[in-house]
Amino acid sequence: MSPRLTSAMIVSALLRLTERESGFGTVIARGDESAGAIIILLAERGRRVGVLERLLGPHGNYAWMESIAAQNEAEIDKFLEKRRRFDPDLWVIELDTASAERFAAEIIALD
């Protein structure tokens, strides 16, 4: 089994990547430093447009997947509230960039 980056390190790297793209990133909910699950709220110019979640696959590898169809803010907030109740170790971060779709594709390609 190969060593893995901690959740805190991954979140920090994602925030820096967002800044490199002249975007803005913030931690909405801090999870477990070493092994907390991570949800990314993707925003474009202040409007949430998608949700990515880092999930463990059947072969033990992590991959970023689109979590829910972001139809409106209320649905996203309800989803996050439910997930935080179920998993208090969950990280929730929001990354706001000029092109959220392109940025999401870059994030997905990282794992």
Whose tokens are 């893995």? That residue is 4
| Domains of the chain (ranges, CATH numbers) | 7-110 (3.40.1530.20)
- What string of pLDDT tens digits covers the 111 residues of the chain? 467 789 999 999 999 999 998 999 999 999 999 988 999 999 998 888 889 999 888 888 888 888 876 567 888 888 899 999 999 999 999 999 998 888 888 888 876
